[in-house]
């Protein structure tokens, strides 16, 4: 069901385009600082790379922790006061925060700035709720696929832009990120309509659910939502095997340098964009949510197995398209979940899902990095298995596949014609 303000097809397309641009610019702004943030930390602590590595991990943990805490709060605020205000305030706050980080002469202020970035980045959950508001139920998977394409493009293009800006100094990428965020704020201020009319908003903020732990109660209130959310968590956790070990693993096993790694990451971004923006939209009407989700998780399992077992670099490269085809599972999963939840709770729902992904980000990097380190050490329980982290990721995705098959058994092929289930009472 679309809102009265966005009932016309052109206005709805324009709003979806803005959300796509918002997510893309957010991801670009974060990707832009990736190449320089570690070097800036080294500079601020006096040149010690070892200490900088410790601080870098602390920065990453803080970022994900703030997302974990703030996502359900932003979702609850957007359910009560509307999506537009939350998205715009977050865009503006992100721009100002990047300016502060560009100017700061001390490490502790940069650390605080990174935490504020995590708070503002939690608006991605509100952007997903916005898409659920304005998109007909039969088009949601395609719309979420477009948002997924924005994530893929932003994370690949952002570091390249950051590397180019770094030629003008370590602070230049932060100014570039601030510019992108503030331009997006101005763009949204003039063109972004509200997606949630007052009559569909929550009468009050339910603070019991506007926190990471309380939001889990919301996931339990609707049939099948908690199971699908668990699938979301397993997928997110497995993905951190890539973030944590990709560069070191490919260097250790295939001797890849920065240029080769950069080129392969560009290939990942290209394949991800094609899958999310093109294949999801083409296949969704034919396969339906359940079948496309099962197919995507199957490809994802094969991709991780290929990464973990590939003795040669060309076999590893062959696994990239398989892994990216795993992206077929994300949009239908998110679409299936939105079908189960009342419109006035979409913000809290998306906040809860983002919190789960952030929770995976808090624990995932340490889990996979330490597993990789163990299996390339002299104390490895199994010799010659440097890809153990990817094999664990394959096991997690296989578990998600089995869980999906179980909890979606008996569902109709297409869910958009089914009524929204009544929530269960869970205290």
Tell me the mean pLDDT in the region 116-121: 83
- Summarised one tens digit per residue, pLDDT across range 380-401 is 787 778 899 999 999 999 999 9
If you average pLDDT over every residue of the chain, what do you get? 79
Residue 213 DSSP class: T
- Helix-helix angle 49-81:124-134, to 10 degrees: 30
Question: Same domain, yes or no, for 376 and 255?
Answer: yes
Best-predicted range by mean pLDDT (180-189, 267-276, 396-405): 396-405
Residue 312 lies in a domain: yes
Question: Same domain, yes or no, for 131 and 161?
Answer: yes
Question: Same domain, yes or no, for 170 and 64?
Answer: yes
Question: Same domain, yes or no, for 226 and 179?
Answer: no
- Summarised one tens digit per residue, pLDDT across range 242-262 is 877 787 788 888 888 766 776
| Residue 98 belongs to domain spanning | 1-189
Question: Same domain, yes or no, for 353 and 216?
Answer: yes
pLDDT on residue 1: 39
Q: How many helices (H) and strands (E) does the chain have?
A: 16, 0
Instruction: Specify the higher pLDDT residue, 108 or 150.
Output: 108
pLDDT on residue 312: 92
> How far apart (Å, rounded) are the C-alpha atoms in residues 217 and 69?
15
- Whether pLDDT at 421 is above 60: no
Question: Same domain, yes or no, for 265 and 185?
Answer: no
What would the DSSP string read from start to end of 151-210?
A: HHHHHHHHHHHHHHHGGG-TTHHHHHHHHHHHHHHHHHHHHPPPSS-GGGS-SS--TTTS
Categorize the per-residue pLDDT at 422 as very low, low, confident or very high, splitting at 50, 70 and 90.
very low
> How far apart (Å, rounded) are the C-alpha atoms in residues 123 and 147?
13
**Tokens linked to 307:** 């990464």
Categorize the per-residue pLDDT at 427 as very low, low, confident or very high, splitting at 50, 70 and 90.
very low
Domain harbouring 406, CATH code: 1.20.1250.20
pLDDT on residue 217: 67
Q: What pTM was estimated for this model as a whole?
A: 0.69
Tell me the mean pLDDT in the region 350-354: 72
Residue 199 lies in a domain: no
Question: Same domain, yes or no, for 150 and 183?
Answer: yes
pLDDT on residue 391: 96
* Cβ atoms 147, 16 nearer than 8 A: no
Categorize the per-residue pLDDT at 149 as very low, low, confident or very high, splitting at 50, 70 and 90.
confident
């Amino acid at each position: 069901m679309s809102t009265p303000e966005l009932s016309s097809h052109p206005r709805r397309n324009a709003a979806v385009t803005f959300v796509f641009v918002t997510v893309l610019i957010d991801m670009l702004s974060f990707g832009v600082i990736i190449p320089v943030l570690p070097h800036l930390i080294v500079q601020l602590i006096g040149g010690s790379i070892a200490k900088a590595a410790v601080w870098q991990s602390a920065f990453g943990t803080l970022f994900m922790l703030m997302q974990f805490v703030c996502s359900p709060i932003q979702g609850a605020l957007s359910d009560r006061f509307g999506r537009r205000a939350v998205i715009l305030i977050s865009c503006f706050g992100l721009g100002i925060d990047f300016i502060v980080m560009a100017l700061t002469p001390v490490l502790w202020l940069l650390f605080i700035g990174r935490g504020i970035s995590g708070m503002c980045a939690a608006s991605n959950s509100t952007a997903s709720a916005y898409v659920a508001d304005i998109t007909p139920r039969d088009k949601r998977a395609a719309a979420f696929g477009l948002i997924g394409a924005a994530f893929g493009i932003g994370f690949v293009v952002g570091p390249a832009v950051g590397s180019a800006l770094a030629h003008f100094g370590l602070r230049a990428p932060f100014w570039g990120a601030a510019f992108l965020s503030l331009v997006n704020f101005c763009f949204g201020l003039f063109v972004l309509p509200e997606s949630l009319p007052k009559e569909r908003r929550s009468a009050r903020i339910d603070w019991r659910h506007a926190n990471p732990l309380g939001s889990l109660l919301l996931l339990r209130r609707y049939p099948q939502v908690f199971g699908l959310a668990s699938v979301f968590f397993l997928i997110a956790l497995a993905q951190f095997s890539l973030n944590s070990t990709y560069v070191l693993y490919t260097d250790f096993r295939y001797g890849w340098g920065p240029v080769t790694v950069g080129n392969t990451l560009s290939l990942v971004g290209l394949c991800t964009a094609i899958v999310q923006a093109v294949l999801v939209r083409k296949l969704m009407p034919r396969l339906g949510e359940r079948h496309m989700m099962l197919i995507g998780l199957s490809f994802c399992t094969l991709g991780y197995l290929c990464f973990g077992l590939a003795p040669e670099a060309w076999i590893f490269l062959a696994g990239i398209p398989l892994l990216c085809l795993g992206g077929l599972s994300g949009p239908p999963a998110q679409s299936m979940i939105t079908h189960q939840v009342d419109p006035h709770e979409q913000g809290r729902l998306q906040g809860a899902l983002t919190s789960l992904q952030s929770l995976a980000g808090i624990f995932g990097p340490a889990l996979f990095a330490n597993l990789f380190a163990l299996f390339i050490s002299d104390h490895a329980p199994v010799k010659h298995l440097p890809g153990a982290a990817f094999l664990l990721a394959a096991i997690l995705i296989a578990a998600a596949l089995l869980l999906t098959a179980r909890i979606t058994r008996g569902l109709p092929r297409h869910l958009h014609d089914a009524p929204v289930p009544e929530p269960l009472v869970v205290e």
